[in-house]
């Protein structure tokens, strides 16, 4: 049933994807008091995909995405990465994906009053591709273990959550602290934070509206 033609394996005349994919996630919830009204929650998520033979990347539906309301909230969904690659052609239809993902999130949650809760958070992470950038056409996207921390994106923010018991409505406002697509030595942008500037707010402030907690 499996035949090979010009180096590509086919099943019933159709080529198929070949890859290995592993994903792991760990969470820790630390309560500051018995009531649980104040919590420090941390999550670490790591995914590793290795395409081989027929495939240079994982199938699109199996690739990793990053950014958005349940991920790095300072970056719009699927606009970040892979690696230091930056696609500025269209943020409305952004669809960046990767074979490898590293994500770290930490969040301090506290009850403010009645059904209103607040949060302060920091998110970090990125995605990468396994294939050579010549094959993918995305410079700076290739994964190596030595690039994980130098190419991490970092964002921070604050949130309000309306907890109506059966439904939690979440509003998280975030902004980037580190942009991996900038040149080395210029990626930390903390000194550029300027909430009083309309241009800075337009380019950096991201409002995430979602149902439920991010993790």
- DSSP letter string, 124-193: EEEEEBSS-HHHHT-TT-B--GGGTTTT-EEEEEEEEEEE-SS-EEEEEEEEEEE-TTSPTTS-B-GGG-
Task: Indicate the pLDDT class of residue 31, thresholds 50, 70 and 90.
Answer: very high
Average pLDDT, stretch 149-154? 97
Task: Indicate the pLDDT class of residue 2, thresholds 50, 70 and 90.
Answer: very low
Average pLDDT, stretch 48-54? 88
| Tokens 């969904």 sit on residue | 77
What are 155-194's pLDDT values in tens digits? Answer: 999 999 999 888 999 999 999 999 999 999 999 999 999 9
Average pLDDT, stretch 18-37? 91
Share of the chain above pLDDT 70, in %: 91
Lowest mean pLDDT of 57-61, 76-80, 85-89, name the range: 85-89
Average pLDDT, stretch 18-43? 92
46 DSSP 8-state letter? E
Residue 27's pLDDT is 97
Lowest mean pLDDT of 116-125, 132-141, 148-157, name the range: 132-141
Query: Percentages helix, strand, coil for the chain, rounded to the nearest 5?
Result: 10, 45, 45
On average, the pLDDT of the chain sits at 90
Average pLDDT, stretch 87-103? 83
Q: Compare 140 and 3 and report the one with higher pLDDT.
A: 140
Share of the chain above pLDDT 90, in %: 74
Residue 9's pLDDT is 64
């Amino acid at each position: 049933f499996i035949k090979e033609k010009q180096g590509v394996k086919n099943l019933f005349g159709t080529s198929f994807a070949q890859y290995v994919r592993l994903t792991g996630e760990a969470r820790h919830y630390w309560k500051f008091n018995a009531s649980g009204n104040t919590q420090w929650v941390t999550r670490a998520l790591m995914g590793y995909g290795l395409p081989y033979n027929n495939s240079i990347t994982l199938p699109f539906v199996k690739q990793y995405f990053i950014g958005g309301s349940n991920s790095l909230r300072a970056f719009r969904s699927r606009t970040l990465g892979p690696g230091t690659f930056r696609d500025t052609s269209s943020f409305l239809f952004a669809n960046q994906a990767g074979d490898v993902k590293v994500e770290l999130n930490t969040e301090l949650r506290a009850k403010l009053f009645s059904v209103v809760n607040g949060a302060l958070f920091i998110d970090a992470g990125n995605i990468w591709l396994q294939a050579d950038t010549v094959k993918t056409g995305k410079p700076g996207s290739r994964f190596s273990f030595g690039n994980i921390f130098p190419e991490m994106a970092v964002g921070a923010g604050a949130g309000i959550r309306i907890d109506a018991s059966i439904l939690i409505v979440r509003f998280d406002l975030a902004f980037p602290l580190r942009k991996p697509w900038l040149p080395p030595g210029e990626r930390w942008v903390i000194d550029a934070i300027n909430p009083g500037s309309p241009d800075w707010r337009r380019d950096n402030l991201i409002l995430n509206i979602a149902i439920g907690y991010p993790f």
